[in-house]
A and B are shown apart, each in its own frame.
Chain A
Amino acid sequence: MTGLGSPRVELRNIHKSFPGVVALDDVNLSFQPGRVHALLGENGAGKSTLIKVLSGALAMDSGQIFLDGQLVDVTSTTAAQAMGISTVFQEVNLIPAMSVVKNMALARNNGRYGFISWKRARKDATDRLKRLRLDIDIERPVGSYSVAIQQLIAISRALEDNTSILVLDEPTASLDAKETASLFAVINELKSNGIAIVFITHFLDQVFDISDDVSILRNGQLVSTDQIKDLTRQDVITQMIGRELDEAEHTAADKSNFTAGKDMLVAKGLGRHRTLAPFDLTLRAGEVVGLAGLLGSGRTEMVKLVFGAIQADAGSIEIDGVKMPKISPQKSLRAGIAFCPEDRKAEGLIGELSIRENIMLSMQAKRGWLKRVSRKEQEKLAEEMIKALAIATPDAEKPVGQLSGGNQQKVVLARSLASTPRILLLDEPTRGIDVGAHAEIIALIRRLCADGMALLVASSELDEIVAAADRVVVMRDRHKIGEIDGKEITRDNIIQMIASQ
């Protein structure tokens, strides 16, 4: 603990779960006045949920929030704001089509009987912007300003005279270096006024630049809280993605005498401007290639480029030595490539459809819509998949939305496998599922690989990669920075490669 007098805000035993996922598990945190506290963690670690709870946008299941030593009940964003907890949410924070002054005046009292006094609203807006030394035309729509200016507008809107804690969720995600520097100048000034600042980001450099304290979350649990001066980059990365696990090291040993099959997919100079720098990648039969890197390093982008879900603007792909004329999801499916996306709710599964119907989707797409798969065939296939992957369900007609996270992930896999792919791309196959299902999925990956399939597995869990992969591709800042083979695959080696400058 930092031990620097009384905290401004203290969170005690915060619990929050969503259907199928525990988002926050007994989290205890405190934020000190006049210090910048960075919150780190991969996607789904619980950062966003935590600040939504703190700012009243989400109700917690249990736990307590203390503000300056007083127990408070944060029921809404408006209530939080009145107490002095100001939050600037990621991306969604202003109404782009409305003018700056209208955004500033929204949900504020400046005028009687529900009327708005635009004279007062304008003065208020100008005053607020002045605090951040922002001199802009307040009548122009917010959307016509750069993202950096929008971010500053959102901050000045959130800051009240009584603001004691300011929460910034990924404020620098879309800023360039110069814009970030000016934002940091503002943060430092607010900090010197005694405001506690909570700063969420996935840029490690920025954490070391600006923060005083660092807390790391993983899978809804608080891993650690330290002062930044006691930490090295390597410590932070280890705590974010590495985890001591004997079992993992053990599996790595088994792979030492591995020999890969023939090249199945060869990407040459594949890339897209501003998304991912051109890279070479080879996937071989009977081999699992792991994709390691921090959040935002380009893991997902690489998988999507290979599949064609993101259109590449450079490079080419050869499958079995034949060059693909154009890379698109449909062409990839026909060529025997299957893809399981990271966000299974948004991209992978349709919750209202049954297990059988979800499994059929990709298979039907591969066959073309005219050749229908008979109901009998469908049922047979679904039953086989449920048995093969040990999906816990009474029957194949249960809507996927009612399954647990781990079983949903298995349905995603089943769906990909139903089209009998030769190359399988998995993005975060174990996201948001419990430990038991975790091990099952990894065992499944190894089994598929033994059957001669070529796999590419992107994961934020280093141990998962160490356990599953025969070869690891390491990513940093939207570049492929290297590959690690066979025996060399250890947690420490990967972390070192990511941390090396």
Chain B
Amino acid sequence: MNQKYWPLLATITVFIALFVIGGSMYNNFLSTLVLGHILADNAFIIIAAIGTTFVILSGGIDLSVGSMIAFVGVVMAVLDSAGWHPLVTIAMMLAFGFLFGAFQGFIIDYCKIQPFIMTLAGLFILRGGCFMVTLDSVPIKHPFVKMMASTRVPLPGGGFLTTGAMVMLASLVIAIIIAHYTRFGSNVYAIGGDRESARLMGVPTRKTTVLTYATGGIYAALAGVVYALYTSSGYPLAATGAELNAIAAVVLGGTLLTGGVGLVAGTLFGGMILGLISTLIIFHGSLNSAWIMISSGILLFVFIVMHRFLIGSFGRQKLS
């Protein structure tokens, strides 16, 4: 077994274990119905996390994700009340996400600015943009949105996949292809592994950085679209802190925060674990939501410590 799959295996093991624990505690927990719900409720965060996976693999970070989700939502909602067709606004917002991400990536590389501070600026700008557009929650009423919300694909065992869940799974497949079967994907791993070596090996580092943040941006925008369809509204305070959940999902999925090591598929399970924890605690009923964050935090902590030891063997062998 290749070492690089160990973190993914650990993630999947934890996911299955949590699912089985849930099943042993509550009737009907081990069902496609619960699974479908977790997928539906967490689709947007997992989509955002898939984009964040590329950014983290390249050795960077993107904090503008949550604001992007809210911004896409409010613009869609306001344009909806102005009579635009959702498909047009969706295409527009995806293009905006791509360009905004590319801009962040360009500034990061060109001005040699830490990604943390650049995307923090992006976070403020986009969140401020939300308040410029509207201060209230604006409903999206177009029949297309209603149709999307009611479209479901039944699963064996009574469960179903929502549109959001399907979009998420499709974008995951695309991301896996990008990460593992394109030159761009390889370049992302390379600059995250060792930027200077990658440059000397002929990897176009600027182009790769710009495209990485553009990918992060378009996935964040797509997450915004899915979130808007899921809630049928746009709200300027929506998805506050979603970027941190996305980062947590990526790390739980086995991607190394320092870049260069990880698998996109892991992010799906990382996001599902977070969803499973909150579902378990909601099922319990008497425990308050504080425990969702506490247990997510503890799990995150255990994972990063575990990675430290698993990943140690990947490092360059150093002279003493």
Contacts and interface: CB of A to CB of B under 8 A. Distances in A.
A311 interface: no
A97 B193 contact: yes
Contacts of A157: 201
Interface in B196-217: 196-204
Interface string A50-83: 0000000100000000000000000011100100
Contacts of A97: 189, 193, 260-261, 314-315
A96 B186 contact: no
B193 A115 contact: no
B202 A115 contact: no
Contacts of A258: none
Contact of B201 (A77, A146, A150, A274): A77
A181 interface: no
* Residue with the greatest number of chain A CB neighbours at <10 A, chosen from B4, B184, B187, B204: B4
Contact of B200 (A92, A96, A105, A174): A92
Contacts of B317: 143, 145-147, 150
B203 A106 contact: yes
B184 A114 contact: yes
A141 B182 contact: no
Contacts of B193: 95-98
A180 to B, nearest CB: 14
A114 B197 CA distance: 21
Nearest to B314: A97
A216 to B, nearest CB: 25
A106 B2 contact: no
A144 interface: yes
Tell me the dominant secondary structure on chain B's binding face: helix
Nearest to B2: A139
Contacts of A491: none
A102 interface: yes
B182 A115 contact: yes
B190 A116 contact: no
Given A95-B197, A97-B261, A115-B182, A144 B313 contact: yes
B309 interface: no
A488 B199 CA distance: 50
B194 interface: yes
B200 A98 contact: no
Contacts of A147: 317, 319
B204 to A, nearest CB: 8
B293 to A, nearest CB: 31
B2 A107 contact: no
B132 to A, nearest CB: 37
B3 A141 contact: yes
Q: How large is the interface on A (under 10, 10 to 19, 20 to 34, 35 or more residues)?
A: 35 or more
A465 interface: no
Contact of A106 (B182, B196, B198, B260): B198
A114 B200 contact: no
B4 A105 contact: no
B186 A105 contact: yes
Nearest to B259: A97
A274 B200 contact: no
A114 B316 contact: no
A309 to B, nearest CB: 16
Tell me the dominant secondary structure on chain A's binding face: loop
Interface in A373-400: none
B314 A93 contact: no
B202 to A, nearest CB: 4
B181 A115 contact: yes
B141 interface: no
A107 B314 contact: no
Contacts of B186: 98, 102, 105-106, 116
Contacts of B184: 114
A111 B181 CA distance: 10
A94 interface: yes
Nearest to A89: B200
Interface string A134-155: 0000011101111100100000
Contact of B182 (A81, A89, A107, A116): A116
* Residue with the greatest number of chain A CB neighbours at <10 A, chosen from B203, B204, B316: B316
Given A92-B200, A106-B202, A116-B183, A144 B189 contact: no
A143 B200 contact: no
Nearest to B256: A97
B27 interface: no
Contacts of B320: 273-275
A92 B10 CA distance: 31
A118 B181 contact: yes
Contacts of B2: 139-140
B189 A98 contact: yes
A95 to B, nearest CB: 4
A77 B197 contact: no
Contacts of B196: 92
A367 B256 CA distance: 41
Contacts of B197: 89, 92-95
* Residue with the greatest number of chain B CB neighbours at <10 A, chosen from A81, A111, A139, A141: A141
A76 B197 CA distance: 14
B260 A174 contact: no
A147 B313 CA distance: 14
B200 A57 contact: yes
Given A114-B183, A141-B3, A274-B320, A96 B202 contact: no
B319 A141 contact: no
Contacts of A114: 182-184
A96 B194 contact: yes
Nearest to A154: B201
A466 B233 CA distance: 82
B261 A93 contact: no
* Residue with the greatest number of chain B CB neighbours at <10 A, chosen from A57, A87, A95, A144: A95
A106 B314 contact: no
A18 to B, nearest CB: 17
Contacts of A275: 320
A318 to B, nearest CB: 28
Contacts of A57: 199-200
B200 A95 contact: no
B259 to A, nearest CB: 9
A115 B183 contact: yes
B3 to A, nearest CB: 7
Contact of A93 (B201, B260, B313, B315): B201
A273 B256 CA distance: 33
Nearest to B320: A274
A77 B200 CA distance: 6
A72 B199 CA distance: 21
B181 A95 contact: no
B181 A141 contact: no
B202 A107 contact: yes
Nearest to A82: B202
Across chains A and B, which 10 residue pairs bring their CB atoms closest together, nearest first? A107-B202, A95-B193, A96-B316, A78-B202, A92-B197, A97-B314, A97-B193, A97-B260, A107-B203, A97-B261
7 contacts: A102-B186, A102-B189, A114-B184, A118-B181, A143-B317, A144-B314, A147-B319
Interface of A: 57, 76-78, 81, 87, 89, 92-99, 102-103, 105-107, 111, 114-116, 118, 139-141, 143-147, 150, 157, 174, 273-275
